[in-house]
């Protein structure tokens, strides 16, 4: 597992008005502890406001982000995924990341954005419920998996009630934790299992 503090390729966290700030905190906190730099990316560098009222100043504009420079692109849910086309450029960027072999993780409404962009047509995936994605008119319904989170190659998807499972898949994909340590991490943060803490402590994980 990677728990050092050596700077690594950045993890890009997309931020936009109405983004669901609670959905990515487990992932970004533990990636940062493992030495990944978290860089926020907006449509521009103008401040945005999360669904929880947090004002965020993006580090970078989406146009200045290159897939080959990063370790991962995280797309949180947001009301805007379902109420406008404003976030379509982020789904387009996700396609570029995947084409370059750089992982993408999408949760909640961001999965619908990827569906509209055709990125789920041939990949196993999940979301809130199957009919939520079916409403987008996408062609990937046969690849929908009714579970907490799914990883298919370089793509992670999860529904809005599964931020811990979403983080678990990201931490596995980037090799931060694996095996019994990853299982213990999940049991601690998802199930409040006190025995899991002892496993993490013995492994030097936090």
65, 108, 170, 171: the active-site residue: 108
Q: Considering only CA atoms, which of 198, 124, 133 is closest in space to residue 155?
A: 124
Alpha carbon distance 69, 88 (integer Å): 21
Residue with tokens 């994909």: 173
Contacts of 54 by beta carbon, 8 Å cutoff, 6+ apart: 21
Contact 23, 149 (CB under 8 A): no
Q: How far is CA 103 from the centre of its chain?
A: 9
108 is catalytic: yes
**Distance in angstroms between the alpha carbons of the first and the last residue of the chain:** 11
- Catalytic (active-site) positions: 108
């Amino acid at each position: 597992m990677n728990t050092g503090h050596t700077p690594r390729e950045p993890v890009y966290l997309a931020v936009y008005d109405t983004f669901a700030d609670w959905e990515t905190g487990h992932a970004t906190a533990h990636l940062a502890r493992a030495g990944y730099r978290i860089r926020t990316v907006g449509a521009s560098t103008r401040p945005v406001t999360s669904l929880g009222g947090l004002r965020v100043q993006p580090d970078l504009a989406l146009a200045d982000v290159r897939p080959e420079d990063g370790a991962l692109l995280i797309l949180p849910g947001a009301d805007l995924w379902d109420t406008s086309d404003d976030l379509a450029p982020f789904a387009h960027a996700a396609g570029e990341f995947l084409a370059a072999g750089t992982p993408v993780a999408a949760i909640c409404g961001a999965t619908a954005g990827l569906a509209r962009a055709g990125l789920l047509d041939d990949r196993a995936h999940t979301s809130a419920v199957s009919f939520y994605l079916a409403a987008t008119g996408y062609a990937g319904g046969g690849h929908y998996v009714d579970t907490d989170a799914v990883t298919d190659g370089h793509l992670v998807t999860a529904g809005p009630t599964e931020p811990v499972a979403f983080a678990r898949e990201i931490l596995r994909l980037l090799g931060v934790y694996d095996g019994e340590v990853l299982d213990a991490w999940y049991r601690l943060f998802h199930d409040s299992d006190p025995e899991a803490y002892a496993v993490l402590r013995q492994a030097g994980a936090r």
